Structure formats: structure tokens, C-alpha cells
Amino acid sequence: MPIKPDLPKPPEFGAPLAPTHESTETLKLLALRRSTPVLMLGEPGPSAADLDAMLRLAMRVPDHRKLEPWRVLIIEGSARERLGDYFAAARSLREPDATPAQLEEDRKLPLRAPTILAVISSPTHDPKKTPIWEQQLSAGALCQTLMIAANAMGWAACWITETPAYDSHVHAALGLKPGDQIAGFIYLGTAKEQPVERQRPDVSAKATRWTG
């Protein structure tokens, strides 16, 4: 069963914080972390209190100059059906020849898990010139921290986008502004079956020492 996180109170602004937090359990989680394929997700989903805790943790990600260049839409219950209707309508506009079966596929996409967190990358113009790329990276960091927080609390999770995430009609339905993007849909729920390990990168092939 998912745990009830016993989180410390948020520190006061300006309070001294430890530079490190040694944690064997955190290292173990990272060593074994595995996304749960979205088709393996089912009921129940996280409670409102669980979501509040996840979001509180995720919003501590690196954020150059404290611009908070992201926001999150919580999509649950019948709102998933309405989102599916938007997905299907968007596909019919993109692909006028789409079959009823194809439109139904898109309509059912949001119903694959009880809870969806739509992470919106919303970079802002910064007079001090924080690059847009840095702000977008912060949104990606928020997605990954949500994944880790969910797993640590006992919830299965999958971070995906798929075609609707890049569709302007879906953007309009979700209230995105010019320059906003969907960094990811985080699907949350309970695993219906156990995922298996997938191929992982060879560290020696992906990391080298630069010597000038």
C-alpha cells in the first residue's frame, strides 16, 4: 500500500540547510527505478494529500533566478473524459480521414490511469536573460522529480507525451499561452502487473573524461 509521507515542514526562507542528505534508500530507489508502462496502470490513484506532497517535493527542482517557469494541471475523474474528447477532436482536425476507430483510440488515451498531471513548461521573458532552454530543463526536472516522489510514496507512474502533447488545439483546450509547451503527461495509479527491467545505457559508452 502507498505510504503516508511524513515530510518535514517547509523550511523558512533564508533558513540554513544541509548541503547533503545521505540516504541509502534514495540510492536504492534510483538504482531500481522503473517507469510502469501506461497500460499497466489502474485504480486506485493518489489522494489529494498525496498529490500535494508530490508537487511540494517536485517544485524544489533547480530553477535559475527563481522564475518558476512551469505549472501543473491535475486531471482526474470525468475531466479525463473531456480531455479525451479534445484529443479526438484534435486528431480529426489534423487527420480529416481518421477513422472512427482511430478517434476512439485517442478518446481513450486519458482513461489509462486514474490521475494525470500535465506539466506545462511556461518560460518567461527574463530581463536578466535566463535562457529559455534553462527554463525548459527545469520543467523536465519537475517531471522526473514527480516520477521519483510518486515511486517513493508507492505509486506507479509513467511520463509520456504522445502526439496530443504537441497539438495546438489541445494546447488551447488546456489553456496554454504562446510559448508554453507540454513537458509531459505524468500518468499515476496502481500497477496492475509488475514491469520488467529494460536495456540500460553502458556508462562507459556514454560518459568520458574531458582533458582539454
Residue pLDDT, tens place only, 72-103: 999 999 999 999 999 999 999 999 999 999 99
Helix (DSSP H) and strand (DSSP E) numbers for the chain:
7, 5
4 band by pLDDT with thresholds 50, 70 and 90: confident
Q: For residue 38, give every residue at least 6 positions away whose Cβ sits within 8 Å of its Cβ, in sequence order, or none.
A: 112, 113, 158, 160, 187
As a whole number of angstroms, the distance between CA 92 and CA 106 comes to 10
The percent of residues in the chain predicted with pLDDT above 70, rounded, is 100
Cβ pair 117, 45 in contact under 8 A: no
**How high does pLDDT run on average in the chain?**
96
Residue type at 31?
A: A
Residue pLDDT, tens place only, 170-190: 999 999 999 999 999 999 999
Res 125: pLDDT: 86
- Residue 78 in 3-state DSSP? helix
As a whole number of angstroms, the distance between CA 43 and CA 45 comes to 5
Q: For residues 88-123, b (16+ Cβ closer than 10 Å) or e, as one string?
A: bbbbbeeeeebeeeebeebbebbebbbbbbbbbbbb
9 pLDDT higher than 70: yes
Helices within the chain (DSSP H only): 24-32, 48-58, 78-94, 100-108, 132-153, 168-173, 203-206
Residue pLDDT, tens place only, 31-58: 999 999 999 999 999 999 999 999 999 9
Res 1: pLDDT: 63
The domains of the chain, with CATH numbers, are 36-78+114-195 (3.40.109.10)
Q: Model's pTM, two decimal places? A: 0.95
115 pLDDT higher than 80: yes
As a whole number of angstroms, the distance between CA 64 and CA 135 comes to 7
